[in-house]
Homo-oligomer: A and B are copies of this chain.
Amino acid sequence: MSRSRISRVVVTPVAFGDPPLLNVVGVHQPYALRAVVEVHTDSGLLGLGETYADETHLARLEAVAAAMGGHDPFDLHGLERLVTEVLGRETGGGGASFGGMLDVGSAVPTVFSPFEVACLDLQGRELGRPVSDLLGGAVRDRVPFSGYLFYKWAGHPGHAEDAWGAALDPDGIVRQARRMVDGWGFGSLKLKGGVFHPDEECAAIEALRGAFPDLPLRLDPNGAWTPETSVAVAERLADVVEYLEDPTPGIDGMAQVAARTDVPLATNMCVIAFEHLKPAVAADAVQVVLSDHHLWGGLRRSALLAGITETFGMGLSMHSNSHLGVSLAAMVHLAAATPNLTYACDTHYPWKTEDVVVGGVLSFEGGSVAVPTGPGLGVDLDRDRLGELHEQYLTCGVRRREDTVYMRSVEPGFTPNTSRW
């Protein structure tokens, strides 16, 4: 049997409209950036990946893409080695910025990830099997997601109000949640906090509990609170939230809080790479880890993370940044093939109105997405849309995620709310 080789790799940055969603470091810019990765083989197959598109990250993606010709799409270990070699000493964090919220020690996992996903897509297409089959098989037909609620302005400054309108108090959050639940059927809700005083955000969670008595709720202030405040919030919301995500920064801070509450603490900030697991386990700092294949080095490394959380008695959930359909497909396959991913996954998907994939495959029903059963990821590029969103990237002026800079253009003197309360 012939063994296909990678013949061509194309990295296309795209921009898509993003509402003014508020968070601990500021506010989402008018456009979110993503890079779509195409990996072509000499056998005529195409595999897809999607990742961040900050300038530094893009340059690294391009450098790896240029070196991948002739590589075997099944040699993922070799591909990771190639990424390490290409990046050389240029592996420090900051390439894929996260609005300033995360500090990544090495760029290797984030750069490797979209190529790994594209290679798994290729493997699945070569075999006529869905990617979930390459990860041990789907344990569920549908993957449930939580409705991701944000404080937000009515619209970007200088622009008309968007379809969602403002959400700046408990009533606004409940209205937003109603729309999310009615439109997508979500069976759980997450509120992005860290924007207002914790009393305000607790009131919003309590209002959600009143409006949706049966839905699991989460609150994620991205480390806006001190350990002391975190304990107080945990006491107030003990019977209301299924977990608190990153109430305070750092493994030490989280461990201080965890020692004083039974509310599970989740994280996508203090445990975001494999080297953080040992100290976090030693300190019993977190009870739930949010996986993210973009951040942890692809689907197979995320499966490893899942096995580690299971082995060490931690829960597992899934993190999301603003993303398009290729990422959603990868998230769905990964979640489907991860037995212990028992929490509904996060997704920003409802917040976008544009995409690069052919529609119809990834639709939300009852808050969940059916696992594609076709070969590979099961999604295909809509080249017209890809071209349009690339053109939008070229003209929109955004070149990196800068929530704080954008916020300061509206509120001069704004500083991130980390550990503010």
Contacts and interface: CB of A to CB of B under 8 A. Distances in A.
Interface in A303-360: 303-304, 307-308, 310-313, 337, 339
Contacts of A126: 127
A112 to B, nearest CB: 12
Main secondary structure of the interface of A (DSSP, over half): helix
A367 interface: no
Interface string A68-83: 0000101111100100
Interface in A230-249: none
Interface residues of A, number: 39
A261 B333 CA distance: 46
Interface stretch (A10-18, A128-136, A385-393): A128-136
Given A307-B308, A308-B311, A311-B308, A129 B74 contact: yes
B128 A3 contact: yes
A47 to B, nearest CB: 15
Interface stretch (A92-100, A155-163, A273-281): A273-281
Given A126-B127, A127-B126, A127-B127, A278 B136 contact: no
Contacts of A310: 274
A3 B74 CA distance: 20
Interface in A1-32: 1-3
Interface in A213-270: none
- Per assembly, the copies of the chain total 2
A186 B129 CA distance: 41
Given A1-B128, A3-B128, A126-B127, A137 B72 contact: yes
A337 B134 CA distance: 15
Contacts of A274: 307, 310-311
Contacts of A312: 277-278, 281
B304 A139 contact: no
Contact of A137 (B2, B75, B134, B281): B75
A161 B155 CA distance: 90
Contacts of A313: 278
A77 B139 contact: yes
Nearest to A375: B1
A300 interface: yes
Contacts of A77: 136-139, 337, 339
Contacts of A81: 139
Nearest to A336: B77
A277 B311 contact: yes
A120 B213 CA distance: 46
Contacts of A311: 274-275, 277-278, 304, 308
Nearest to A278: B312
Q: Which of A77, A78, A126, A129 has the most CB of B within 10 A?
A: A77
Contact of A139 (B3, B78, B127, B281): B78
A299 to B, nearest CB: 11
A107 to B, nearest CB: 19
Contacts of A301: 307
Contacts of A303: 304
Nearest to A127: B127
A19 B277 CA distance: 45
Nearest to A339: B77
A134 B72 CA distance: 12
Contacts of A307: 274, 301, 304, 307-308
Q: Which of A72, A281, A307, A337 has the most CB of B within 10 A?
A: A307
Q: Which of A136, A277, A278, A313 has the most CB of B within 10 A?
A: A136
12 contacts: A74-B133, A74-B134, A74-B137, A75-B137, A77-B137, A77-B337, A77-B339, A81-B139, A301-B307, A304-B304, A304-B311, A308-B308
Interface of A: 1-3, 72, 74-78, 81, 126-129, 133-134, 136-139, 274-275, 277-278, 281-282, 300-301, 303-304, 307-308, 310-313, 337, 339, 375
